[in-house]
Amino acid sequence: MPDISYYELDTLDAEGRAALMRRSEADLSGFIDKVQPIIKAVRSEGDAALVRFARDFDKSQVEVDGLKASEAEFDAAFDKVDEEVIEAIRFGIDNIRRFHEEQKPEAMWLKEMRLGAYAGDRFTPIRSVALYIPRGKGAFPSVTMMTAVPAVVAGVPELAIVTPPAPDGSVDAATLVAARLSGVETVYKCGGAQAVAAVAYGTETVNKALKIVGPGSPWVVAAKRLLAGVIDPGLPAGPSESIIFADDTVKGGLAALDLLIEAEHGPDSSAWLVTHSRRVAEEALAALPDHWVRMSEQRVEFSEAVLSGPYGGIVLTPSLEESYRFVNDYAPEHLEILSTDPFAHLGHITEASEILMGPHTPVSIANFGLGPNAVLPTSRWARTFGPLSVGDFVKRSSIGYVTASAYPEFAKHARTLARYEGFSAHEHAVSDVRKTYL
């Protein structure tokens, strides 16, 4: 068993505490330099660059005429995927759709601000959005469900998935199943920074999009950052991260079980157990080997790397209040509150994108179809961003309508402020001159 990172919070100085807040994507400088030529090549060479990068980065033999998944590939996917998996995908999609239907705003609302003067909002779907589905450390039909369903609910007319191809040039079969069942039939076989560039600029095969959403590696995050002036990069979703907050009413073995959920995503993930109970911390530490023997070798390697490195482990705090403070400072992507009375703690947590309550709501259930979206802001962006939602796929327009009877009062006050701010055209537009044109 590796040496698990174990910290007693009250022994750390400010610098030591700040180090626990860092994520793997905090410094993208190395990736920015590598991503720039990839973006340039895709912009100038189009499909040819996508094929070359698929060969270089994904070890895939995809050809230009195979960059877009065919209808036959979609059909064949349903024969390749076990019915049990298809049933789980249908179950998840149904719950995710129900949840996001509740989020959908009214198409338009208007309220009478003053007699004869109305104001409100109108919501319309974004015309085109690309959904990024990662594949580097596994296949993720669940991410397809989480990104596609709210986009379809929002009514986005042009939806496309970009995802890295397998060595044989195929798309993960379950991802194709999830795409079709969610309502998306366009899938492009490209991933990484080159996929972001492809949907930002468009290629011979890949249609240009106005926005891209979905989690990705630091390569993807760096490309989104560089192309933010070309395409809306969506909420900042990087490598997975979680905090398992546990009080003294639960067993440490349970905390260890859930600590491994996000830790197994990859060595660039972050995963912390935060507790004020020394018993829970020590029980969790002791339970890890028993959990690892039930996991695959690769996932053990990933989680061991996380929990013995700078981005994960166990944090023992001196009090519940300090546990709350640590969680709020960290602002995690996923937060579990492990307690027999989780609602007693909920009011103390203000900075977390997803909060899962009690011993029967592990991240696994939320990731695969409880309903709330599992595409979440990382790297402390939970302080200003929320989970992916229907709202990410619509745009809001303000609506105003002033009747003839309400106009004079509004015009009077507008003239006063326009004169004060020195805008003569503003003032002139609501002067008596207007009456000559009405």
Q: What is the DSSP string of 175-216?
A: HHHHHHHHT---EEE--HHHHHHHHHH--SSSPP-SEEES--
Task: Specify the pLDDT at position 365.
Answer: 97
Q: Output the CA–CA distances (angstroms, integers) from residue 367 to 334, 354, 364, 434, in the order listed.
A: 10, 11, 5, 58
| φ/ψ of residue 158, rounded to 5 | -120, 105
Q: What is the crossing angle of helices 29-45 and 218-226, to 10°?
A: 70
Structural element, H or E, at residue 84: helix 83-103
Task: Specify the pLDDT at position 174.
Answer: 97
pLDDT digits (tens, 9 = 90+) for 255-296: 999 999 999 999 999 999 999 999 999 999 999 999 999 999
Task: Specify the pLDDT at position 109.
Answer: 97
Tally the C-alpha atoms within 13 A of residue 36's C-alpha that lie toward its C-beta.
5
**Residue 10 and residue 65 in one domain:** no
In the predicted model, residues of the chain with pLDDT beneath 50 are none
| φ/ψ of residue 62, rounded to 5 | -60, 140
- Find the angle CA(334)-CA(340)-CA(345) to the nearest 5 degrees: 55
Q: Which of 100, 276, 334, 345 is catalytic?
A: 334
Q: Where are the alpha helices (DSSP H) in 104-140?
A: none
**Residue 169 and residue 48 in one domain:** yes
Task: Specify the pLDDT at position 27.
Answer: 72
| φ/ψ of residue 265, rounded to 5 | -65, -35
Last residue of a domain, one of 171, 194, 226: 226
**Residue 207 and residue 322 in one domain:** no
Task: Specify the pLDDT at position 397.
Answer: 98
333 has catalytic annotation: yes
Last residue of a domain, one of 331, 349, 372: 372
pLDDT digits (tens, 9 = 90+) for 372-416: 999 999 999 999 999 999 999 999 999 999 999 999 999 999 999
Residue 66 lies in a domain: yes
Q: Output the CA–CA distances (angstroms, integers) from residue 436 to 298, 406, 412, 431, 433, in the order listed.
A: 78, 18, 17, 10, 6
Q: In what order do the strands lie in the sheet with 108-114?
A: 108-114, 117-125, 394-402
User: Which domain covers residue 60, as residue numbers?
Assistant: 29-106+127-226
CB contact at 8 A, 327 and 274? yes
Partner residues linked to 18 by β-bridges: none
- CA–CA gap between residue 16 and residue 318 (Å, rounded): 16
Of 61, 60, 64, give the one whose Cα is nearest residue 47: 64
Residue 116 lies in a domain: no
Kindly provide the residue ranges of all beta strands, DSSP E only, lying in 317-364, ordered along the sequence.
334-338, 354-357
Dig out the tokens for 36 from the structure. 């720039």
Query: DSSP labels for 241-288?
Result: EEEEEE-TTS-HHHHHHHHHHHHTT-TT-EEEEEES-HHHHHHHHHHH
Domain with 47 in it: what CATH number? 3.40.50.1980
**Residue 159 and residue 83 in one domain:** yes
Q: In angstroms, how far is CA 415 from the centroid of its own chain?
A: 46
Residue 408 lies in a domain: yes
Task: Specify the pLDDT at position 135.
Answer: 87
Residue 180 lies in a domain: yes
Number of neighbours of residue 422 by Cβ within 10 angstroms = 8
**Residue 308 and residue 409 in one domain:** no
Tally the C-alpha atoms within 13 A of residue 370's C-alpha that lie toward its C-beta.
16
**Residue 14 and residue 35 in one domain:** no
Given the DSSP bridges, would you call strands 187-189 and 270-275 parallel, antiparallel or unpaired?
unpaired
Of 368, 58, 20, give the one whose Cα is nearest residue 219: 58
- CA–CA gap between residue 230 and residue 281 (Å, rounded): 47
**Residue 147 and residue 56 in one domain:** yes
**Residue 49 and residue 194 in one domain:** yes
Task: Specify the pLDDT at position 26.
Answer: 67
b/e sequence 156-174, b meaning 16+ C-beta within 10 Å: beebbbbbbbbeebbbbbb
**DSSP code of residue 321:** H
Residue 89 lies in a domain: yes
Dig out the tokens for 89 from the structure. 């995908």
Given the DSSP bridges, would you call strands 187-189 and 211-213 parallel, antiparallel or unpaired?
unpaired
If one counts the domains in the chain, the total is 3
**Residue 253 and residue 222 in one domain:** no
- CA–CA gap between residue 267 and residue 301 (Å, rounded): 8
**Residue 315 and residue 408 in one domain:** no
Residue 268 lies in a domain: yes
Q: Which of 241, 304, 333, 354 is catalytic?
A: 333
**Residue 149 and residue 217 in one domain:** yes
Last residue of a domain, one of 192, 226, 260: 226
Q: Output the CA–CA distances (angstroms, integers) from residue 427 to 76, 94, 132, 407, 413, in the order listed.
A: 66, 54, 48, 14, 10
**Residue 94 and residue 186 in one domain:** yes
Dig out the tokens for 277 from the structure. 């109970």
Residue 384 lies in a domain: no
Residue 265 lies in a domain: yes
